[in-house]
Structure 1
Amino acid sequence: MNLSQQAKPVGERVVQRLRQIPISTSILAPLVALILLFVVSSLASEYFLNTRNLTNVMRQVSYTGIIAIGMTFVIIAGGIDLSVGSMVALVGVIVLYVVNAVSDPIQAVILAMLAAVVAGALFGLFNGLLVTRGRIAAFVVTLASMSIFRSLALYFTNAAEVSTRNPFFSDIGGGFFMGLPIPVLVFFGLAIVTHVLLFHTPYGRHVCAVGANPQVARYSGIRVERIVLSTFVIAGVCVGLSAIMLTSRLNSVSPSDAGYFYELDAIAAVVIGGTALSGGRGTVWGTVIGALILGIINNMLNLTGVSPYLQGLVKGGVILLAVLLQYKRTP
């Protein structure tokens, strides 16, 4: 019996063990933290429970939350993507160029949305190929592509803001459906789809197995490189969706500011939600809760008049606490 045949039963046991991890235990702590934070915020400011304020919080959370869902797959598979913020800027530029290039306003919106998803997928594919085929660490690849994407966005626009007068485009990011902002519906709809993909399909189990132990996963018959590549593509598609929501909300995009620090917010949401930075375990709903926690914290800091120069300190402290609690829970 060769080495791969010996390792295959081990790999199957790894996958089975990952399937047996109860989802509720991994998101219980973030959920409790979210409830406590909500209660404290409602007591700290009389404006927090205002309908308009809660709607704005949910809308702001959706932009980075959509990206964080894609980031969840990348991190569970043992990778990282630092380029998503710059990717938002470049995809946003592409979206508005397509909108302005097509004369029919409805066709322009449809083509722009398709272009955003395709462009995001291609940029994610670019990162994934360098990681899997080029054998370069994901941190290094995405750190480089972060600079590349931002530079391209600035070059194509001469660092100037790009806008559109399309009468229908703003209805996507600024519109409502069933009383909720469309970006929020997209955020939660995407969370449902990706949760099913991660926990109720063989693909999701393979992603967890690759993140837990790529060598054992390879011996058990899982195509590790293909799985890792696909997670970067998923992250790129999520960036495309977020870019659509953001640019349509503003009807414009600033290549120097769009998506600024989104990569940090996305990673923070994933970590706060209980996903292990070492890979192998995590949940989509934990990431959703993490994004909501960050959104409420930012909102409360603004409502209570905390200096914007100190808000990064608070956010950084929350991230460190979440990571510390992860290590405390790890046997």
Structure 2
Amino acid sequence: MSTHKAPAPTTAGEQSTPLLSRLVEGLSGRYRSIPVLFVLGLIWLYFYSRNSAYLTSTNITNLSLQIVTTAILALGIVFVLLVGEIDLSSALLSGVCATVTAQLAIKSDWPLWMAILGGVATGLVFVLAEVLAIIFGVPSLIVTLGGMVILQGLLLVVLPPEFVINIGGTDFAKISSTYIPSGWAFVIAGVGWLLFCAARFRAHRERGAAADSSALVSVGVPAVLCGVVVFGAVAVLGEGRGLPLPVLILVAMLLIASYATSRTRYGTHLYAVGGNREAAQRAGIPVSRMVIYSFLVLGACAAVAGIIEASRLLAVSNSSGGGPLMLNAIAAAVVGGASLFGGRGTVWAALLGALVIGSINNGVQLLGLSTEVQSFATGGVLILAVAIDVVITRGSLLPNRR
């Protein structure tokens, strides 16, 4: 008697995954940056078609300097988003930290490195106070909204009576005006590229992949692509005065953050907490501690971003950390691929998103368009990015049925 059993009827939920669902699934993983790069390419192509000076070495260098502050602040926001929280006060915190640094370095004649440590310490202390309220149970949206109001008053307290500190002609100002010569920039890029290749090869060995084709795909192709991007960027940025120091600081912070989130236990716990906080707690992961660590990273990033921005503007004032900086930083993190719902995204989202937002702003300014156009474009890109994030989280293009 035959033992073959007839296949069970296939339900609608067990049918093969539609093409669109597979696409959504792919965008939620390793291919999340592809749409961002595509949009960035379209933005560059549009503005270049309107003004050929847009993609010149000089303008690209200006663009890179303009996005550094947003990208560093967005980097800190990515860490907070990964654990499923939000922050609205970090832009003003960057202004307060920059002001404290300027007070110590210029008014109190502290050595610059000690003044910078004082500014970073200010950022860490403030976010620690915020996160203690958050882990107590107060929503992060409310805590950081209140923190933003507190920081507005604190900024006026730490400023002198004239509400401005000029830093032109001081060592503080040299942070943004220092350029790495092209030769040294290529050496630094070469060392970074070799470290990247070594890390990819080590990861390939740890996975136990022995096939040559697999090694070519997992090591060779990324190494070539990384080399083209890194050395191409250094060649373009170094064509004039050299590689700007703020850009080097940004890349170093991104590399450290990338290693911490992808190659350490801390990174594994970070994504686990953001993906499912209750499951992470049952698995023994210290959820509260991970949230504290994420906000501390944000505090340090806010301080560095504020210090670099003050050095670029040659002053701190009661408008430091204000304007569209907070919106641009959150938009950069989300547009670059970090999820508002936690547990998804990489630190490189900060760079990609800042490039998208910065490229729009730079192009609008280069064409002499009104600031209204810049606001419309930035807001539209942010809404589109959040809509894509919602689709990826839901796993379907169809709206929820209520």
1:34 to partner: Cα distance: 1.6
1:287 to partner: Cα distance: 2.2
Identify the residue that residue 127 of structure 1 maps to in structure 2: 130
Residue identity opposite 2:150 in structure 1: I
Residue identity opposite 1:121 in structure 2: L
2:381 to 297, 318, 326: 318
Residue identity opposite 2:138 in structure 1: I
Over residues 287-328 of structure 1, what are the superposed CA-to-partner deviations in whole Å (9 max), with x where a residue is unaligned? 211110110000111122221123211110010111112223
Identify the residue that residue 74 of structure 1 maps to in structure 2: 80
SS of 1:24's equivalent?
A: coil
| Structure exhibiting the larger radius of gyration computed from Cα positions | 2
1:250 to partner: Cα distance: 2.4
1:270 to partner: Cα distance: 0.8
1:53 to partner: Cα distance: 1.6
1:109 to partner: Cα distance: 1.0
2:338 to 250, 275, 281: 275
1:113 to 102, 113, 116: 116
Residue identity opposite 2:144 in structure 1: T
1:29 to 35, 40, 62: 35
1:52 aligns with 2:58: yes
Residue identity opposite 2:176 in structure 1: G
Structure 2 CA distance, aligned partners of 1:165 and 1:49?
A: 30
1:52 to partner: Cα distance: 2.1
Identify the residue that residue 218 of structure 2 maps to in structure 1: none
1:155 to partner: Cα distance: 2.6
Identify the residue that residue 290 of structure 1 maps to in structure 2: 353
Over residues 149-182 of structure 1, what are the superposed CA-to-partner deviations in whole Å (9 max), with x where a residue is unaligned? 1211113324711223563221112211131111
Matches within 5 A, 1:6-45: 24-45=30-51
- Give RMSD over aligned pairs: 1.9
Structure 2 CA distance for partners of 1:23 and 1:196, relative to 1, 3 Å: farther
Q: Is the 8 A contact 1:99 1:164 kept in 2?
A: no
TM-score by length of 2: 0.73
Structure 2 CA distance, aligned partners of 1:266 and 1:282?
A: 15
Matches within 5 A, 1:1-331: 24-103=30-109, 108-132=111-135, 134-157=136-159, 158=161, 160-164=163-167, 167-178=170-181, 179-330=242-393, 331=395
Structure 1 CA distance, aligned partners of 2:27 and 2:57?
A: 37
SS of 1:61's equivalent?
A: helix
Q: Is the 8 A contact 1:74 1:80 kept in 2?
A: yes
Structure 1 CA distance, aligned partners of 2:81 and 2:169?
A: 37
Structure 2 CA distance for partners of 1:30 and 1:21, relative to 1, 3 Å: closer
SS of 2:337's equivalent?
A: coil
Q: Is the 8 A contact 2:167 2:173 kept in 1?
A: no
Identity of aligned residues (%): 32
Structure 1 CA distance, aligned partners of 2:138 and 2:263?
A: 31
- Bigger mean CA offset, 163-172 vs 212-221: 163-172
Q: Is the 8 A contact 1:85 1:259 kept in 2?
A: yes
1:126 to partner: Cα distance: 1.6
Structure 2 CA distance, aligned partners of 1:278 and 1:22?
A: 12
Q: Is the 8 A contact 1:99 1:166 kept in 2?
A: no
TM-score by length of 1: 0.88
- Bigger mean CA offset, 197-206 vs 162-171: 162-171
Structure 1 CA distance, aligned partners of 2:281 and 2:80?
A: 17
Residue identity opposite 1:171 in structure 2: K
1:102 to partner: Cα distance: 4.2
Residue identity opposite 1:189 in structure 2: A
Q: How many residues matched?
A: 308
1:227 to partner: Cα distance: 0.3
Over residues 192-242 of structure 1, what are the superposed CA-to-partner deviations in whole Å (9 max), with x where a residue is unaligned? 110111111111111111111111110100010010011010000001111
SS of 2:30's equivalent?
A: helix
Structure 2 gap ranges (5+): 1-25, 182-241, 396-402
Residue identity opposite 2:349 in structure 1: G
Residue identity opposite 1:96 in structure 2: A
Structure 1 CA distance, aligned partners of 2:373 and 2:85?
A: 30
Q: Is the 8 A contact 2:88 2:144 kept in 1?
A: yes
Structure 1 CA distance, aligned partners of 2:134 and 2:51?
A: 46
Residue identity opposite 1:167 in structure 2: T
1:113 to partner: Cα distance: 1.3
1:36 to partner: Cα distance: 2.5
1:26 to partner: Cα distance: 1.8
SS of 1:136's equivalent?
A: coil
